[in-house]
Structure 1
Amino acid sequence: MKKNILILILLAPLLFSCRQGKESLKDKAEAEPFHLVKNDPIKNGLSTISKKDIYTKYEYNDSKGASLIIQNSLPRGGMKYSGPNNEVYNYAVFWTRIINETDNILELKIDFPINSYEIPSLPGKYFKILMPPDTMVPEKAPLFNYGLTNLESFLDKNIYKAASLKRTINSKESTGFYVVMLCVIEGAKGTLRTGLSLNEKNLTYTINGKEIKCGSIIIKKTP
């Protein structure tokens, strides 16, 4: 009996050290950043999405060399929308698609401040950024407004709210979402170019060269 107790006492530090090592590796995996390996303005091989609809494509690798790909679209829309208080806006619809080729489940979180991007020709006035809950899939790409429907009713209910989105992206799967930009008519000049990109785990949304920090992509913790 005493011999067994002595063996347990001697093994305890080793067992504790192994457990700490496993937990440390798990924490490291959860915090592991992605690194940009390729930045293509347009490229073929994008499922059923035509390359003419793609503005930018970014590819990131994790430590195992597995990829996370972000595709950003060109704008569609240009139609007018009358708000609840009779303001008249031009709107443009964009989409972003994130493809998870890693072995991990990823958590996507995006939050836009209400006043994120000032209208260059109207100091003190801002574009409105909204994120409908709809999921964009490649099959919708050829459709009007990239297949986004019931837009006016969504805008009526959310035009004065901050935009946010949360998604879980399973391993070897993808998700797509829409971003709608509204600009008052008198400030709607020129063409908008937007896109989501990743720096380690932090997300940035760029609008005509202006970078807006807007969220993160992290590895989902598993029990």
Structure 2
Amino acid sequence: MYDLSFKENNISEILRATIFLFTLFISTLIYAQTIGTRWFSQRTTNGITIQNSYPKGGRYNGNVENKFNCSYLVFFTRVINGTDSTLELNINFSSDSIAIPNSPGTFMQLLLPSEIMTLEKQSLFSYGITELASLDKPTSLKRSIKPQEDCLFYVVAFFYQTENGEWSQERGGNRAELVLEGQNLLYRMHPQVPSLSCGHLVFE
């Protein structure tokens, strides 16, 4: 008599192996895109990986009222969801200016431009960004990240002086990172921002 249970067990094993190989394939594709990328920081917590870039930028030549000697730095962050559940990413930056230590009259604003960042833009000037964001207005980001997928986004640090005088060289802020603690997201940029609560990352 033909043993149906043996056949069913074999099919079940094949299905499990197929699902495992497919998941491994997708994960490999995601991580392979970062080969050659040099990250400032990379941390993995409970299956969630956050990668933070080095900066690009320079002087800002646009017209900005009551802001002088302006410059900017562009960073990008990549969040990889290595779990089996969808993640909800929420980040908010206020329009508040942050005073630069040891540089009187020099301030910084953190911005979240709406442009989409991709790994293919890494070699471009300022990572390919064309619009910084609306200055003096709060900016925010909300994204859903499916299992085994990732999300990339820009963060811009905009520097300025309140008086039209000599250019201040003490601006700092050339290293920054998004950090996950529990479900809370913190943004750090020494010496200006030791730790700024800016959002959360939760499972849907």
Contact 1:48–1:139 (CA under 8 A) maintained in structure 2: no
The alpha-carbon distance between structure 1 residues 49 and 87, as it changes in their structure 2 partners (threshold 3 A), is farther
Long gaps (5+) in structure 1? 1-44, 62-66
Q: Give the Cα–Cα distance (whole angstroms) in 1 for the partners of residues 176 and 142 of structure 2.
A: 20
Q: Give the Cα–Cα distance (whole angstroms) in 1 for the partners of residues 42 and 97 of structure 2.
A: 23
The alpha-carbon distance between structure 1 residues 188 and 213, as it changes in their structure 2 partners (threshold 3 A), is farther
Q: Note the 1:111-150 alignment, pairs <5 A.
A: 111-115=92-96, 117-123=98-104, 126-149=107-130
Match of 2:201 in 1: 217
How many residues in Structure 1 have an aligned counterpart in Structure 2? 165
Report whether the alignment pairs 1:174 with 2:150.
yes
Q: Deviations along 1:173-216, whole A, 9 cap, x unmatched?
A: 10100011111154452452100010010000001151101000
Match of 1:74 in 2: 54
When the two chains are superposed, the root-mean-square deviation of aligned CA atoms in Å is 2.1
Q: Give the Cα–Cα distance (whole angstroms) in 1 for the partners of residues 117 and 62 of structure 2.
A: 25
Match of 1:194 in 2: 176
Q: CA deviation at 1:97?
A: 0.4
Match of 1:20 in 2: none
Structure 1 stretches of 4+ moved >4 Å: none
Long gaps (5+) in structure 2? 1-30, 162-166
Q: CA deviation at 1:122?
A: 3.7
Identity level (%): 36
Q: CA deviation at 1:119?
A: 1.1
Q: TM-score, normalised by structure 1?
A: 0.67
Match among 31, 34, 51 for residue 37 of structure 2 = 51
Contact 2:81–2:146 (CA under 8 A) maintained in structure 1: yes
Contact 1:121–1:187 (CA under 8 A) maintained in structure 2: no
